[in-house]
Amino acid sequence: MQFLDNLFLNISQVIRNLVGGFLPDWGVEVVMMTVAAAVLVVIAVVTMMFLTWMERKVVGRIQDRLGPNRVGPFGLMQPIADMVKMFIKEDITPREANRWVYNLGPIVVVPPAILALAVIPFGRGLSGADLSIGWLYLAAVASTSVIGIFMAGWGSRNKYALLGAMRAAAQIVSYEIPQVLSVVGVILIAGSLSMQRIVEAQNVWFVFLQPVAFIIFLIASVAEIERSPFDLPEAESEIIAGYHTEYSGLKFGMFFLAEYISTFAVSAIGATMFLGGWRGPVLPGWIWFLAKTYLLVFVVLWLRGTLPRIRVDQLMNFAWKVLVPLALANLLVAGLIAAIINPAETPGFWTFIGFLLGNLLLIAAVVMVGVLRAPEMEASEAAVVGAKGALAGQ
Amino acid sequence: MITQIAFIGIALLTLAGAIGVVLARSVFVSALFLILSFVGVSGIYVLLEAPFLAGVQLLVYVGAVAVLIIFAVMLTRDMMSEETPFLNRQWGCGGVMAAVLFVLLLLIGFIADWPVSSAKPPEDTISALGEALMGKYVLPFEVASVFLLVALIGAIVVARER
Amino acid sequence: MDIPLSWYLTLAAGLFSIGLFGCLTRRNAIGILMGVELMLNAVNINLVAFGRYITPEAVAGQVFAVFVITLAAAEAAVGLALIISIYRTYDSIDMEDINLLKW
């Protein structure tokens, strides 16, 4: 087990020794970084292919279908067939499009998704780069994903594409705030922005100390990556396919790639921040990490298979009137409790009780506000609050 | 050596972005060049061993300010037709002014005898920064937060449709 | 520390001058705002570079840069709100047309 746990670290050490034989120190560093980057890109692409298959299988099961089952065992080769199809599609550029912006759009969309993988700890000491600004880096990289979407939407010179891009930008910018704020509570307890340090601080999983934050993070993340029920920017019935309406072939594939890598990345971040990352008994760390990540991926797919799409006005109201105040309240409670019982010094049990009590109070307050305001609200708004209350009350 | 090459590359990227901002005919393309320039400045902060600022630069400038600018471009689109010049008539005068200022700044930068210190920066810049913001600079920090709130409300009031 | 301080100053000077040029000559109000953002970025580079090279043990340069970034964000929000308001009133954001206070 010890050997399996350190498997990838040992491989990296072997490469380091091999290269170190004939290169100076800085050369070794450059080679190691290049190798790490290449591995991350390969992981990204393989993950994307696996996720497309998994999504179709899971959603198929939810809808009482079989899902892909023709190409290879269990349809496992389906992503490869899809890829071949994508390669041989005609590459179309609309005549009115702004060529440069239109063609650069899909190229700019992918890097933010892949860059996020760089700081995620896949196992003990196993991350591309353990930056001291970890979470800030992730938030910063995620916020740049809007740019590619804007380029695609504006460059296409298509009203649906433009509408989709503006919807996407408004959505991403709005939901980024509760997403970042919800994790601040975790960072407060861990006392570090570095992802590895956050994992090491989780003797108790943070999902038990910060359940409200976890729910806010989950909802905001699903909105961030524009997946159902928050897939308004690509709502087929309203604006065709949103900002990638005009794209075909490989360029469309790029948007696809970015979306699935983002899905994996936010699930991995959620697993790292709230579910203890690679920590777990018996099995090697990276297997725990993958198991937890895919659990969250499954939740995201499950949401897609179950919930109907929400409306634009509900979308903004939900972010600004529900999630942001809730995230701020959660931060306030977390800060108060951290000030009363110093989590770095008090034994785990009392920290646990303290934060749990705080969160229960918060949930009680939210449910009370929801109940008091329910009669005044439209039925639809009440449904949103009710759903949130039910989620929070579990 | 490597850091020097990195600096030159990033600096050229930043300046090219800035020139693009000024000389692009379409405001949207200007905004894209502005983003390029912002990303370059973020790289400069990394070279200056200020990782926190590099992150904040991306988050605030690329993720918020640039998006805001692009939104404004789209809300006021089709206002400047392709035929009208995108610079005003004083562009020659303005160019001379900017060039003179550039030369002056360079002269100051190179002539002055800066007391460069060889001391090491603090090990953990982020906690040093946090302690400075919550200790020595707590009053300006709080004023800045009130200021942000005022700007937020002001922007909503000014831009609201009546 | 193998990059001399003067390199950073040169970069900042260039960025500031380009920003100033844009600010003085663009006709589109949003273009002017972008020029201002460039100048603020140039100032930030100088602040952080001076902080790093002259007083590396204190973080004052970075603290000031944080405040400047805060200010720039607020300036962008209010400035763009004003531009949109002007657009509603005049149906134009060409600075040549907005001359009510000029004479």
In a domain, B93, yes or no: no
B94–C16: do the CB atoms touch at under 8 Å? no
Give CA–CA dist A268/A43, Å, rounded: 13
A143: chain B residues, CB-CB within 8 Å: 58-59, 62-64
DSSP state of A71: S
In a domain, B44, yes or no: yes
In a domain, B90, yes or no: no
Same domain, B133 and B64: no
Give CA–CA dist A348/A334, Å, rounded: 15
Residue C89 touches partner B, C-beta closer than 8 Å = no
Better-scored residue on pLDDT, A352 or C36 = C36
Cβ atoms within 10 Å of C22's Cβ, excluding its own? 28
Under 8 Å CB-to-CB from A343, ≥6 apart: which residues?
A: A189, A191, A351
In a domain, B104, yes or no: no
Q: Is the dihedral of CA B21, B27, B32, B34 positive or negative?
A: positive
- Rounded mean pLDDT of chain A? 81
Tell me which of B53, B80, B107 is where a domain ends.
B80
The number of C-alpha atoms within 13 Å of B59 and in the hemisphere containing its C-beta is: 19
In a domain, C96, yes or no: no
Which B-chain residues 78-117 have CB contacts (< 8 A) with chain A? Answer: none
In a domain, C101, yes or no: no
Give the rounded distance of the alpha carbon of B162 from its chain centre. 33
In a domain, B50, yes or no: yes
Mean pLDDT, residues C17-37 taken together: 89
Domains: count for chain C = 1
Q: What is the pLDDT of residue B150?
A: 92
In a domain, B26, yes or no: yes
The answer to whether A300 and A227 are in contact (CB under 8 A) is yes
Domains: count for chain B = 2
Same domain, B75 and B6: yes
In a domain, B110, yes or no: no
In a domain, C43, yes or no: yes
A169–B67: do the CB atoms touch at under 8 Å? yes
Full domain range(s) for residue B51:
1-80
> What are the structure tokens assigned to B29, written together?
């393309």
Give the dihedral of Cα atoms C13, C18, C23, C24; nearest 10 deg: 100
Give CA–CA dist B29/B26, Å, rounded: 5
> What are the structure tokens assigned to A15, written together?
């490469």
CATH of the domain at C33: 1.10.287.3510
pLDDT band at A2 (very low <50, low <70, confident <90, very high): low
> What are the structure tokens assigned to A324, written together?
């942001």
Q: Is the dihedral of CA B125, B130, B133, B138 positive or negative?
A: negative
In a domain, C95, yes or no: no
**pLDDT tens for residues B47-85?**
888 888 999 999 889 888 898 888 888 887 665 556 667
pLDDT per 10-residue tile (average), chain B, 162 residues: 86 92 86 92 89 90 88 73 69 87 88 79 81 89 91 88 70
In a domain, C65, yes or no: yes
Chains that touch C (3 or more CB pairs under 8 A): B
In the predicted structure, residue A25 carries a pLDDT above the cut 80: no
C21–B95: do the CB atoms touch at under 8 Å? yes
A101–B28: do the CB atoms touch at under 8 Å? yes
Full domain range(s) for residue C72:
5-90
The Cα angle at residue C76 between residues C75 and C82, in degrees rounded to 5: 90
**pLDDT tens for residues A310-347?**
877 788 888 888 888 888 888 888 888 777 776 666 66
CATH of the domain at B54: 1.20.120.1200
In a domain, C100, yes or no: no
The answer to whether A156 and A245 are in contact (CB under 8 A) is yes
Cβ atoms within 10 Å of A185's Cβ, excluding its own? 29
What is the DSSP code string of C66-93? Answer: HHHHHHHHHHHHHHHHHHHHHHHHHS--
Q: Measuring CA to CA, which residue among A69, A221, A70, A61 is closest to residue A139?
A: A221
A101–B67: do the CB atoms touch at under 8 Å? no
- Hunting for tokens 């600075």 — which residue is that? C95
